[in-house]
């Protein structure tokens, strides 16, 4: 098998892993259509749940931030071919998010509850809008395949695409806040049904 085919295959695996984790995360946060949601998991003292969850979020933040830094990329591409650097970043981030969802500890008591129908509808609308903005922000900047590393695989050059001016990053950050807020705006992450 040629190196180019292996590189393309690795990029496709990273992209499919990203898509699977992305879709599962939508259901995990909403507690809809997935076997384990934000409200499922080992229960225990509040301090243990908060410590575990903070550690999981910290792991994602460190991985996501450190691997995106130019100094890390320079160091990392000494060991890993530049053509698979982005795919490795995407695959690693996806696996860390999957681990976060797997090991998440729900809080034992409600944080707060929304019972008014109009407020529930508003929260669900914000939730859906946050995911829609996140999904649409990737293609608007350089494409979901570029974000996952597949564009480089298909070109085969290993050269990074021309960077955008950061609009996708701002959209992604804003939609992350919207999704997280609307997902946690109910009892211990539980969503009104």
User: 154 pLDDT band (50/70/90 cuts)?
Assistant: very low
Cα–Cα distance measured from residue 127 to residue 130, given in angstroms and rounded to the nearest whole number:
5
Mean pLDDT of 9-33: 93
Domain count for the chain, please give it.
1
**CA–CA distance from 62 to each of 54, 68, 172 (Å)?**
12, 10, 18
pLDDT band at 141 (very low <50, low <70, confident <90, very high): very low
Domain hosting residue 142, numbered range: 3-189
Per-residue pLDDT, 159: 52
Asked if pLDDT for residue 19 goes beyond 80, the answer is yes
pLDDT digits (tens, 9 = 90+) for 57-112: 999 999 989 999 999 999 989 988 888 999 999 999 999 999 999 999 998 877 77
Site of tokens 């000494």: 78
Residue 165, pLDDT score: 45
More confident position, 178 or 50: 50
Share of the chain above pLDDT 70, in %: 70
pLDDT value at 163 more than 50: no
Is residue 142 within 8 Å of 161, Cβ to Cβ? yes
> Dihedral of CA 146/22/178/128: which sign?
positive
Specify whether the CB–CB gap between 83 and 158 falls below 8 A.
yes
């Amino acid at each position: 098998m040629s190196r180019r085919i292996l590189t393309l295959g690795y990029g496709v695996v990273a992209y499919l892993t990203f898509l699977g984790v992305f879709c599962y995360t939508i259901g995990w946060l909403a507690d809809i259509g997935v076997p384990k949601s934000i409200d499922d998991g080992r229960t225990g003292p509040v301090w243990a749940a908060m410590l575990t969850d903070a550690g999981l979020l910290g792991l994602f933040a460190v991985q996501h931030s450190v691997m995106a830094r130019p100094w890390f990329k320079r160091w990392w591409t000494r060991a890993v071919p530049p053509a698979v650097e982005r795919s490795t970043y995407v695959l690693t981030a996806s696996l860390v998010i999957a681990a976060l969802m797997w090991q998440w500890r729900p809080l034992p008591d409600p944080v707060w509850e929304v019972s008014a129908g109009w407020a529930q509808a508003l929260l669900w609308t914000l939730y859906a809008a946050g995911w829609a903005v996140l999904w649409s922000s990737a293609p608007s900047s350089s494409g979901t395949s570029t974000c996952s590393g597949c564009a480089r695989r298909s070109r085969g050059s290993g050269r990074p695409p021309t960077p955008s001016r950061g609009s996708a990053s701002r959209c992604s950050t804003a939609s992350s806040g919207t999704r997280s807020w609307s997902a946690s705006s109910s009892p211990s992450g539980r969503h009104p049904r």
